Amino acid sequence: MSTPPPLVDRPALLKRRARAARAPADFLHEAAADDLQDRLEMVNRDFRDVAIVTGWSEPWQARFPKARIVPDDEVLALEPGGHDLVIHAMALHWANDPVGQIIQCRRALRPDGLFLCATLGGQTLGELRAALGEAEIELTGGLSPRVAPMGDIRDLGALLQRAGLALPVADAAPLTVRYESALSLMRDLRAMGETNALAARLRHPTRRAVLLRAIEIYAESYGGADGRVPARFEIVTLTGWAPDASQPQPLRPGSAAQRLADALGATETPLRD
């Protein structure tokens, strides 16, 4: 079987991140880091060997100063069984092999170690995606890849099971930011290092007319009474544990010692075939 072509142009992504580092806009990382820090405070455990996989180290290092920062390369620099907590921080949506990234994180965990991941979900930048697509079709008669395809919460949650993690949980938190215009949003994305790095992207600058028309469509379709436009981001959080015999195990089907109807004090009505 032939290997599928990569979705992401990694050298281009790294160049965009390096450019953004000179004047970063990292509020998404700040929000995700704050959320994961709050979640960890509710876990009754002292994590001592923490690794954070990310392409944007500053906000994570500030909150987890003793953690080891690991670049989100295709092959992660993680020692097997070397950590009791691995965080994959706002980089999974740029992975060519997301399940492979999670498998590598799981292998780096000791038994009953915790895996946490914050990533952008499929509802992210829906408005921008629609405006750019409509403008490009209208002016060029075609459509090119511009926004990375991000998984929905169900698909992302399934990756935890595929990677062999126990007790998997996936949840999502929407975040809406209001901008003066779509152009302001595009500037922020550039300052985040989140602009188009798809391998199949056009290799020449977008026509000015397409961008101007997309800005118009964005304002017409989504603009508020104050003239500002919303940009929706979805931060999906994935949680799983490295398997261990001490963890709760599901009962075998049919092994229940008490009927649910009796526990609820309800009358059970058999269904007809």
Render pLDDT for 35-55 as a digit per residue (tens, 0 to 9): 999 999 999 999 999 999 999
Q: How far apart are CA 109 and CA 243, in angstroms?
A: 10
Three-state SS string across 30-85, please?
HHHHHHHHHHHHCCCCCCCCEEEECCCCHHHHHHCCCCEEECCCCCCCCCCCCEEE
Range(s) of the domain holding residue 152: 10-244
CATH number (domain holding residue 153): 3.40.50.150
Cα separation, 31 vs 59, in Å, equals 9
- How high does pLDDT run on average in the chain? 90
**Tokens standing for 166?**
């126990």
Buried b (16+ CB within 10 A) or exposed e, 71-86: ebeeebebeeeebbbb
pLDDT at 265: 63
Mean pLDDT of 228-241: 97
Give the least confident one: 117-126, 170-179, 219-228, 254-263.
Answer: 254-263
- 130: in domain: yes
SS3 content of the chain, % helix, strand, coil (to 5): 35, 20, 45
On the 0-12 / 13-18 / 19+ scale of CB atoms within 10 A, 22 is exposed
Q: How many CB atoms lie within 10 A of CB 244?
A: 12
- Mean per-residue pLDDT for 141-167? 88
- Residue 23: predicted pLDDT: 74
Number of domains observed in the structure of the chain: 1
Tokens of 44: 């009754």
What pLDDT is attached to residue 260? Answer: 58
**Residue 170 is assigned to a structural domain of this protein:** yes
Predicted local confidence at residue 267, as pLDDT? 63
Q: Quick check: is 68 in a domain?
A: yes
Mean pLDDT (whole number) for 205-229:
94
Rg (CA), the chain: 22
Q: Per the domain annotation, does 267 fall within a domain?
A: no
Domain annotation covers residue 1: no
Percent of the chain with pLDDT over 70: 90
The tokens describing 245, both together, are 């015999």
Look at residue 251 in the predicted model and tell me its pLDDT: 58
Residue 60 counted as domain residue? yes
Residues 96-140 pLDDT 10s: 999 999 999 999 999 999 999 999 999 999 999 999 999 999 999
Instruction: Indicate whether 194 belongs to any domain.
Output: yes
Q: Is residue 99 domain-resident?
A: yes
Q: Spell out a b/e string for 133-155, using b for 16 or more CB atoms within 10 Å of the CB, else e.
A: bbbbeeeeeeeeebbbebbebee
Across 30-34, average pLDDT: 95
